[in-house]
Structure 1
Amino acid sequence: MIAENTEITAIKFQEIYYTLYPRLLSFSLKYVKDQFVAEEVVEDCMLYLWEKRKELQAVNNLKSYLYTMVKNRSYAYLRNNHKEIPLETVNYESISQEDQYIIEEEAHAILLNAVEELPDKCKKVFKMSCLDGVKYKDIAQEMDISVNTVKSQRSRAIELLKRSLKDKPFVVLYLSLLLKM
């Protein structure tokens, strides 16, 4: 279909467009969940391909390049419009260990700032149970409250954190992973 490392002529571009457009459209739709937006994303990518066709002659795998561009522009749309990035679409293997560490540290710092905004009892219960790993029974004894109160304060803290962090999906993911430990 696409001969790599050759000039993209009008005929070749038309072949690429008609072959890949439907696939790229459904690929973008997986992310943005909106037909109109997905069409815009794919059309922008195709326009970019046409405008930069001379520079893109050196691209080894044009199909892969287009899929990556569509994915990145779909993510950009979601970020810019404060939409949640579907977690099942994130390829964590493509993130280097150093980047993972930086993301985790940043998520942890943002989470700790949000924890400080919680009501006092929720904050104390959350810190003890989720961050320090103290058992419910021990928290109840230390705070002189029932185990059920500990559970409800923890649940309330988690709900308040998820609400306050709703525009930061990676921090919510980090929180979810923290809760499973």
Structure 2
Amino acid sequence: MVKTFKIYHLAIFLFLYMSCSSQLSVEKKMESKLKMFNRNDFKQVHFNNIYQLEGLYETKRDFELIYPKLEEHRDSNYIDYMYIQNNGKINFGTGSMVPDITKHKEIQTFNGVLVKEGDKYVIFRKVVLHPVLGVGGYEIKKQKILIENRRLYIQDGNNCLVYKLVD
């Protein structure tokens, strides 16, 4: 009984340690990706503005949307948003108090980075490995993006998230 108890506690400790070290490692990688950002590469992006999730679409190929939408943003009280700072940091979130985010000139925490690689635009995004449990570490997900007509399209496998600029 005592031996099982010790093994159980050791397993929990190792899991939590790996989760925390994973987060620190991801934070360092995100900071290094930020060094690749050049604001001049993104003439069509409206920095220090909120982009609201317009919907999720299935795609034939990258950015070829199949209508109708698979899913729309939540409701009028809560919106899924993306806030792009002029230093390349991106904040993805859901909230009811979204306009308050624009009062800050620079937000220290971020969960995405906007980068140009060659002739393509990408976002490096921090995601939770086990979002249901809220634990288990983080990873960086690289997603291709397209910017046109005051919209930002993020390709995610066979789906495409469409964010529109909020005026």
TM-score, L = length of structure 2: 0.24
Which is higher, the Rg of structure 1 or of structure 2?
1
If each structure's strand is expressed as a fraction of its own residues, which one has the higher value?
2
If each structure's helix is expressed as a fraction of its own residues, which one has the higher value?
1
